[in-house]
Protein backbone atom coordinates (compact mmCIF):
# COMPACT_ATOMS: atom_id res chain seq x y z
CA UNK A 1 0.00 0.00 0.00
CA UNK A 2 2.99 2.33 0.41
CA UNK A 3 2.98 4.04 -3.00
CA UNK A 4 4.14 7.46 -1.82
CA UNK A 5 7.56 8.17 -0.33
CA UNK A 6 7.32 7.90 3.46
CA UNK A 7 8.07 11.59 4.00
CA UNK A 8 5.31 12.64 1.59
CA UNK A 9 2.82 10.28 3.27
CA UNK A 10 3.78 11.70 6.66
CA UNK A 11 3.43 15.26 5.38
CA UNK A 12 -0.05 14.45 4.01
CA UNK A 13 -1.17 13.09 7.38
CA UNK A 14 0.34 16.07 9.21
CA UNK A 15 -1.76 18.36 7.03
CA UNK A 16 -4.98 16.40 7.46
CA UNK A 17 -7.41 17.05 10.30
CA UNK A 18 -6.56 14.72 13.18
CA UNK A 19 -8.66 11.71 14.05
CA UNK A 20 -10.58 12.14 17.30
CA UNK A 21 -9.50 10.49 20.54
CA UNK A 22 -11.95 7.59 20.17
CA UNK A 23 -10.77 6.82 16.63
CA UNK A 24 -7.16 7.16 17.76
CA UNK A 25 -7.70 4.54 20.48
CA UNK A 26 -9.55 2.27 18.07
CA UNK A 27 -6.71 2.63 15.58
CA UNK A 28 -4.06 1.89 18.21
CA UNK A 29 -5.87 -1.08 19.76
CA UNK A 30 -6.65 -2.62 16.38
CA UNK A 31 -2.93 -2.61 15.61
CA UNK A 32 -2.12 -3.97 19.07
CA UNK A 33 -4.73 -6.71 19.41
CA UNK A 34 -6.29 -7.66 16.04
CA UNK A 35 -4.84 -9.65 13.17
CA UNK A 36 -4.22 -7.95 9.79
CA UNK A 37 -4.40 -4.34 11.05
CA UNK A 38 -3.57 -3.05 7.56
CA UNK A 39 -7.27 -3.68 6.83
CA UNK A 40 -8.09 -0.65 8.99
CA UNK A 41 -8.89 2.51 7.04
CA UNK A 42 -6.71 4.59 9.35
CA UNK A 43 -6.21 8.31 9.77
CA UNK A 44 -5.85 9.68 6.23
CA UNK A 45 -8.40 7.43 4.54
CA UNK A 46 -10.74 7.74 7.50
CA UNK A 47 -10.76 11.53 7.23
CA UNK A 48 -11.41 11.22 3.49
CA UNK A 49 -14.40 8.95 4.13
CA UNK A 50 -15.71 11.34 6.76
CA UNK A 51 -15.43 14.44 4.60
CA UNK A 52 -17.00 12.72 1.58
CA UNK A 53 -19.88 11.61 3.77
CA UNK A 54 -20.23 15.14 5.12
CA UNK A 55 -20.38 16.46 1.55
CA UNK A 56 -23.05 13.94 0.50
CA UNK A 57 -25.10 14.14 3.73
CA UNK A 58 -26.51 10.63 3.29
CA UNK A 59 -29.65 9.44 5.01
CA UNK A 60 -28.78 5.80 4.40
CA UNK A 61 -25.29 4.30 4.13
CA UNK A 62 -24.42 0.68 3.44
CA UNK A 63 -20.98 -0.61 4.39
CA UNK A 64 -19.90 -4.04 3.15
CA UNK A 65 -17.00 -5.13 5.38
CA UNK A 66 -16.90 -3.83 8.95
CA UNK A 67 -13.61 -5.11 10.40
CA UNK A 68 -13.17 -3.28 13.74
CA UNK A 69 -15.66 -0.51 13.02
CA UNK A 70 -13.31 2.41 12.29
CA UNK A 71 -14.65 3.25 8.84
CA UNK A 72 -18.25 2.97 10.06
CA UNK A 73 -17.60 5.70 12.63
CA UNK A 74 -15.96 7.89 9.99
CA UNK A 75 -18.78 7.46 7.47
CA UNK A 76 -21.42 8.05 10.16
CA UNK A 77 -20.09 11.56 10.70
CA UNK A 78 -21.96 12.77 7.62
CA UNK A 79 -25.32 11.13 8.30
CA UNK A 80 -28.45 13.25 8.48
CA UNK A 81 -30.16 13.58 11.87
CA UNK A 82 -32.45 10.65 11.01
CA UNK A 83 -29.67 8.76 9.22
CA UNK A 84 -28.65 5.13 9.54
CA UNK A 85 -25.55 3.17 8.55
CA UNK A 86 -25.99 -0.56 7.97
CA UNK A 87 -22.71 -2.45 8.09
CA UNK A 88 -22.27 -6.12 7.16
CA UNK A 89 -19.50 -8.53 8.06
CA UNK A 90 -19.16 -12.30 8.29
CA UNK A 91 -16.62 -12.18 11.12
CA UNK A 92 -18.72 -12.32 14.28
CA UNK A 93 -15.56 -12.56 16.40
CA UNK A 94 -14.93 -8.82 15.98
CA UNK A 95 -18.51 -7.75 16.72
CA UNK A 96 -17.99 -7.07 20.43
CA UNK A 97 -14.73 -5.23 19.71
CA UNK A 98 -16.39 -2.89 17.20
CA UNK A 99 -19.49 -2.37 19.32
CA UNK A 100 -17.41 -1.42 22.35
CA UNK A 101 -16.16 1.64 20.44
CA UNK A 102 -19.46 2.51 18.78
CA UNK A 103 -21.07 2.57 22.24
CA UNK A 104 -18.62 5.30 23.25
CA UNK A 105 -19.62 7.50 20.29
CA UNK A 106 -22.65 9.82 20.04
CA UNK A 107 -23.06 8.30 16.57
CA UNK A 108 -23.16 4.72 17.79
CA UNK A 109 -26.96 4.50 17.80
CA UNK A 110 -26.93 5.21 14.06
CA UNK A 111 -24.92 2.06 13.27
CA UNK A 112 -26.79 -1.18 12.56
CA UNK A 113 -24.45 -4.18 12.47
CA UNK A 114 -25.54 -7.29 10.53
CA UNK A 115 -23.52 -10.49 10.85
CA UNK A 116 -23.56 -12.77 7.83
CA UNK A 117 -22.96 -12.97 4.11
CA UNK A 118 -23.46 -9.69 2.28
CA UNK A 119 -24.71 -11.62 -0.75
CA UNK A 120 -27.54 -13.01 1.39
CA UNK A 121 -28.27 -9.87 3.42
CA UNK A 122 -28.29 -7.18 0.69
CA UNK A 123 -31.40 -8.54 -1.10
CA UNK A 124 -33.32 -8.41 2.21
CA UNK A 125 -32.62 -4.71 2.81
CA UNK A 126 -35.67 -2.57 2.12
CA UNK A 127 -33.73 0.68 1.82
CA UNK A 128 -32.60 3.17 -0.79
CA UNK A 129 -28.98 4.06 -0.18
CA UNK A 130 -27.23 7.38 -0.76
CA UNK A 131 -23.73 6.03 -0.14
CA UNK A 132 -22.20 2.55 -0.24
CA UNK A 133 -18.70 1.60 0.93
CA UNK A 134 -17.36 -1.73 -0.31
CA UNK A 135 -14.34 -3.01 1.62
CA UNK A 136 -14.71 -6.78 1.79
CA UNK A 137 -13.55 -9.90 -0.07
CA UNK A 138 -12.24 -8.78 -3.44
CA UNK A 139 -13.53 -11.78 -5.37
CA UNK A 140 -17.12 -10.68 -4.77
CA UNK A 141 -16.73 -6.97 -5.62
CA UNK A 142 -18.52 -7.33 -8.98
CA UNK A 143 -21.33 -9.25 -7.31
CA UNK A 144 -21.73 -6.68 -4.54
CA UNK A 145 -21.84 -3.87 -7.11
CA UNK A 146 -24.52 -5.60 -9.15
CA UNK A 147 -26.55 -6.53 -6.07
CA UNK A 148 -26.64 -3.04 -4.61
CA UNK A 149 -26.95 -0.96 -7.77
CA UNK A 150 -30.75 -1.02 -7.95
CA UNK A 151 -30.93 0.07 -4.29
CA UNK A 152 -28.64 3.07 -4.86
CA UNK A 153 -30.49 6.30 -5.58
CA UNK A 154 -29.76 8.17 -8.81
CA UNK A 155 -26.90 10.51 -7.99
CA UNK A 156 -25.79 8.23 -5.15
CA UNK A 157 -22.21 7.11 -4.61
CA UNK A 158 -20.33 3.85 -4.20
CA UNK A 159 -16.81 3.86 -2.78
CA UNK A 160 -14.80 0.68 -3.34
CA UNK A 161 -11.56 0.20 -1.41
CA UNK A 162 -8.33 -1.60 -2.37
CA UNK A 163 -8.77 -1.19 -6.12
CA UNK A 164 -5.00 -0.82 -6.64
CA UNK A 165 -4.43 -4.01 -4.65
CA UNK A 166 -0.92 -3.16 -3.43
CA UNK A 167 0.06 -2.17 -6.95
CA UNK A 168 -0.57 -5.61 -8.41
CA UNK A 169 -3.07 -4.20 -10.90
CA UNK A 170 -0.15 -2.84 -12.97
CA UNK A 171 2.44 -5.53 -12.20
CA UNK A 172 1.82 -8.02 -15.00
CA UNK A 173 3.88 -10.78 -13.41
CA UNK A 174 1.70 -10.71 -10.27
CA UNK A 175 -1.74 -10.77 -11.88
CA UNK A 176 -2.34 -14.52 -11.90
CA UNK A 177 -3.88 -14.83 -8.40
CA UNK A 178 -7.67 -14.78 -8.11
CA UNK A 179 -7.87 -11.69 -5.89
CA UNK A 180 -5.88 -9.59 -8.34
CA UNK A 181 -7.90 -10.90 -11.26
CA UNK A 182 -11.09 -10.00 -9.38
CA UNK A 183 -9.92 -6.45 -8.70
CA UNK A 184 -8.92 -6.02 -12.34
CA UNK A 185 -12.30 -7.34 -13.48
CA UNK A 186 -14.14 -5.01 -11.09
CA UNK A 187 -12.18 -1.95 -12.21
CA UNK A 188 -12.91 -2.75 -15.86
CA UNK A 189 -16.57 -3.43 -15.07
CA UNK A 190 -16.92 0.05 -13.59
CA UNK A 191 -14.93 1.71 -16.37
CA UNK A 192 -17.20 0.16 -19.01
CA UNK A 193 -20.55 0.77 -17.28
CA UNK A 194 -22.45 3.62 -19.00
CA UNK A 195 -24.75 3.96 -15.96
CA UNK A 196 -22.00 5.50 -13.82
CA UNK A 197 -19.30 8.13 -13.65
CA UNK A 198 -16.12 7.11 -11.85
CA UNK A 199 -12.72 8.26 -10.71
CA UNK A 200 -9.99 6.07 -9.22
CA UNK A 201 -8.39 7.92 -6.33
CA UNK A 202 -4.80 6.79 -5.63
CA UNK A 203 -5.29 7.19 -1.87
CA UNK A 204 -3.66 4.49 0.22
CA UNK A 205 -4.56 1.25 -1.62
CA UNK A 206 -6.86 2.97 -4.09
CA UNK A 207 -10.52 4.01 -3.78
CA UNK A 208 -12.86 3.80 -6.76
CA UNK A 209 -15.44 6.57 -6.45
CA UNK A 210 -18.56 5.77 -8.46
CA UNK A 211 -21.58 8.00 -9.05
CA UNK A 212 -24.81 6.57 -10.37
CA UNK A 213 -26.08 8.73 -13.23
182 neighbors 168 (Cβ within 8 angstroms): no
CATH number of the CATH domain containing 169: 3.40.50.150
pLDDT in tens, 57-113: 999 999 999 999 999 999 999 999 999 999 999 999 999 999 999 999 999 999 999
Q: What average pLDDT does this structure show over 194-206?
A: 96
- Classify residue 88: in a domain, yes or no: yes
Q: What average pLDDT does this structure show over 149-176?
A: 91
Could you list the residue range(s) of the whole structural domain that residue 59 is in? 6-212
- Classify residue 1: in a domain, yes or no: no
Measured distance CA(182)–CA(197) in Å, rounded: 20
* pLDDT score, position 172: 74
- Classify residue 99: in a domain, yes or no: yes
pLDDT at 174 over 70: no
pLDDT in tens, 1-43: 677 888 998 999 999 999 999 999 999 999 999 999 989 999 9
Confidence of residue 141 (pLDDT cuts 50, 70, 90): very high
Domain count of the chain?
1
Q: Which residue has the higher pLDDT, 3 or 185?
A: 185
Measured distance CA(91)–CA(197) in Å, rounded: 32
* pLDDT score, position 69: 98
Amino acid sequence: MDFLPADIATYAEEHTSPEGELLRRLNRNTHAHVMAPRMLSGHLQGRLLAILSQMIRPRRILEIGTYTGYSALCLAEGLTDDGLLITIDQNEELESFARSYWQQSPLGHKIDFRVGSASDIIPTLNETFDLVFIDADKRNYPQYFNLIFSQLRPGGFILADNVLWSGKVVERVKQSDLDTQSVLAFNQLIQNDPRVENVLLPVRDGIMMIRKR
